[in-house]
Amino acid sequence: MKKIGLLGFGTVGCGVYEIITQNSNYLNNKVEISKILVRDINKSRNINFPKEILTDNADDIINDPDIDIIIAVIGGIHPSYTYIIKALNNGKHVVTANKAVVSKYYNVLLKTAHENKVAFLFEASVGGGIPVIKPLKQNVKINDIGKIKGILNGTSNFILTKMSEESYTFADALALAQKLGYAEADPTDDIEGYDIARKLSILSNIAFKTTTNLQDIKCRGISNITKLDIEKFNHFGKKVKLIGSAIKSGSNYCASVEPILVDKTSPLSAVNDAFNIVSVSCSTVGELQFYGQGAGKKPTANAVVCDIIDILHDDFDNPICFDENLIKSEGMKLFRGKYYIRINTDSNFDIGEITRLFEESNIKINVEKEKDTLFIFTGLVSAEKIDNIMSSIKVRNFCYARLDDNKVIA
């Protein structure tokens, strides 16, 4: 019987408690949640559990020699990181769903786990309930992985789904997401792609056998996508998705979070609302895709418990390489594609000047003008060039998005 200390008794923590205690088949008599860290012991909770296992002192759990496994499901970087490092150094296995901690301290966490010969598992930190970390860790042993691509954030995907399927404006879709509890009061992390960047960095670290820097992942969010853009995408049979991508070429890599236009017949297009998908391109087995619920109490808790089961089986297979700087970020250089660009010409600017910017960079373009709006469709071009041009154009109301897989838009 292994004893578990649970750090955090919020949504995911309660989900884990329920799965472990209610399941009558497999986990009973194998594990027991013996202590739970909460901020307020006296808070009333809508779950049945023995009150005496609560504590508001983390050391009661982390320093308890009887506890074998720590589940860290508190949000935020601090004090989560300190708790996890202490627990690992105390020889305890750690399972976490905290992507902020995993992505920021990937290297030191895995080194500490390695030195203490314990597990550091984080399946729930990427893609919620989807089992993707585990097959990725295994396949990277016998495959070179050249590309990762995924819809990795339920909130932004919910907003884009409402905009695409039900003609919501961005503002209305965001308000609905907040009302339903899918988006936080400050939705920046979700809509600007920072949450996806954290998950992409974790996937990249495993797939490319290195430690990537979060700062190297260029993020562009979805807040400037308008109903007009969505109508255009529909017209061309495309759907816009906020996608995290990472590619490796030799010892270079590029990683980004950007709005990407996918075919309505592509598997990515069918990933709606809170569902996530991860696609991994492997040298031997080819492309693999993993799909499921990317967030939520039960799916996330399910992934945490799957990690616990691996620990029970002594199958904690920490990633095989965590040397830093084995590969170098090339910014956006390795991304290429055809672009949709919409520039709202309310502001004072010269169309000729804009088209000249593209011509000077040898980019083939088709230009359409509708009322006070300019649409530009480019030929195949590097993402770096387009990013440079777009940041040099001094307009506020614009949107641009790359086509997935270089398919033709118009």
Interface pick for its own copies out of 302, 329, 373, 378 (rule CB under 8 A): 302
User: Residue 280 in contact with residue 145, Cβ under 8 Å?
Assistant: yes
State the nearest-atom distance from the C-beta of 310 to its own copies, in Å.
8
Interface pick for its own copies out of 28, 82, 138, 249 (rule CB under 8 A): 138
State the nearest-atom distance from the C-beta of 290 to its own copies, in Å.
6
User: Residue 409 in contact with residue 378, Cβ under 8 Å?
Assistant: no
Interface pick for its own copies out of 104, 111, 114, 298 (rule CB under 8 A): 298
**Quick one: 139 or 156, whose CB is closer to its own copies?**
139
Interface pick for its own copies out of 317, 323, 370, 372 (rule CB under 8 A): 317
Interface pick for its own copies out of 69, 100, 301, 341 (rule CB under 8 A): 301
92 given a catalytic annotation: no
Total residues at the site for its own copies (CB under 8 A)?
48
Tell me which residue has tokens 């897989």. 405
Kindly tell me the burial class for residue 146, based on how many C-beta atoms sit within 10 Å of its own C-beta (0-12, 13-18, 19 or more).
middle
Q: What is d(CA 126, CA 121) in angstroms, rounded to the nearest whole number? A: 11
Catalytic residue among 162, 199, 241, 385: 199
**Quick one: 290 or 322, whose CB is closer to its own copies?**
290
One-letter amino acid at 97 equals A
Is residue 78 near its own copies by the rule CB under 8 A? no
User: Residue 256 in contact with residue 331, Cβ under 8 Å?
Assistant: no
Q: What is d(CA 368, CA 351) in angstroms, rounded to the nearest whole number? A: 11
**Quick one: 23 or 388, whose CB is closer to its own copies?**
23
Among positions 232-291, residues that touch its own copies (CB under 8 A) are: 264-267, 269-271, 282, 284-291
Q: Which residues pair with 253 in a beta bridge?
A: 248, 329
Q: Which residues pair with 36 in a beta bridge?
A: 6, 54
Only segment of 3-11, 138-146, 199-207, 370-378 that touches its own copies (CB under 8 A): 138-146
Only segment of 136-144, 191-199, 344-352, 381-389 that touches its own copies (CB under 8 A): 136-144
Is residue 315 near its own copies by the rule CB under 8 A? yes
Give just the sign of the alpha carbon dihedral 259, 296, 293, 288.
positive
Scanning 118-180, the segments in alpha helix (DSSP H) are 133-139, 154-166, 170-179
> Concatenated DSSP letters for 60-90?
HHHT-TT--EEEE---SSTTHHHHHHHHHHT
Catalytic center residues: 199
Q: Which residues bind its own copies (CB under 8 A)?
A: 19, 23, 25-27, 129-131, 134-135, 138-139, 141-143, 264-267, 269-271, 282, 284-293, 296, 298-299, 301-303, 305-306, 309-310, 313-315, 317, 320
